[in-house]
Amino acid sequence: VLDGIDDATVSANIAKELVQTGELGVVIIDSIASWKPTPPIKKGENEEDITVDRIGSHAQFLASTLPRLSHKCYQNDVTLILLNQGRKSINLMGAGGGIKAYGGLALKHQASIILKLQGQVEYKNYRILGDDNTIIGQWVEVTCVKNKTAIPMQKCKIPLILGHGVDPYMELANLVIEYGIVKMKGSWCQWADTEETICQGLSNLQQKFVDDQDLFLSLREKVITILGLTYTEENKFFNKYLLLV
């Protein structure tokens, strides 16, 4: 983990050197919004003036850096993950809700997969509540807006727990109900085929997965099979990078 690098040019060279080592499988840059080069100081400008900037310098830097960096990643079999944020567009009359990504068009052209994450905890249907009705997390909607390896524009929701991260047990509990492996009868969870009672409440179902890892893994395999993601020679590349969390 590298931190405290002020100049994007320096961090880009460090990222390139890390990729060329061949020792790493994944390199993460957080984030594109702050990955800006230091603009040169022109005559008459104060070097300590923090407001000095150049229009388009961020986009120009990414347009020249990303093609070289992505080529190095391809040569060394490294996955490059770039995190970004949205900002309000200054073109208030434009379409798209006024939300734009930092960095111009270079990211859209160079990326193989673009995932758009949205989570609004102010809306009730996005909230995840604890036993005492306090907000412990939120559902994050993920949209694959670009995909060169599979069908794009697919959507899903993942549970993000504050201070913990993505909860695989909560996700599986919702998936087994969605795909009919487990059904809810009131507040009770039952097996759909035998109607045998498992437990009461979704939180207890999650805890059962935590306590019984064999049950968790077997149900996980069932969900993967239902989704059509079983391993075959035709989709071995896709399954190599499959992550069901």
With a pLDDT cut of 90, the percent of the chain lying above it is 4
With a pLDDT cut of 70, the percent of the chain lying above it is 77
Instruction: Evaluate whether 85 touches 102 at the Cβ level (below 8 Å).
Output: yes
pTM check: above 0.85: no
Q: For 166-193, what is the mean pLDDT?
A: 88
Instruction: Evaluate whether 137 touches 128 at the Cβ level (below 8 Å).
Output: yes
Per this entry, what is the length of the chain? 245
Q: For 194-206, what is the mean pLDDT?
A: 86
How far apart (Å, rounded) are the C-alpha atoms in residues 88 and 36? 18
pLDDT at 238: 42
Q: What are the tens digits of pLDDT across the range 111-151?
A: 889 998 887 666 667 777 776 778 888 888 889 999 988 88
Which residue did the predictor score with more confidence, 36 or 1? Answer: 36
SS3 16: helix
Q: Which helix (H) or strand (E) holds 156?
A: strand 155-161
pLDDT at 92: 58
Give 100's contacts (C-beta < 8 A, 6+ positions apart).
Answer: 86, 87, 88, 89
Which residue did the predictor score with more confidence, 44 or 6? Answer: 6
pLDDT band, very low/low/confident/very high, at 54 (cuts 50, 70, 90): low
Residue 241 reports pLDDT greater than 80: no
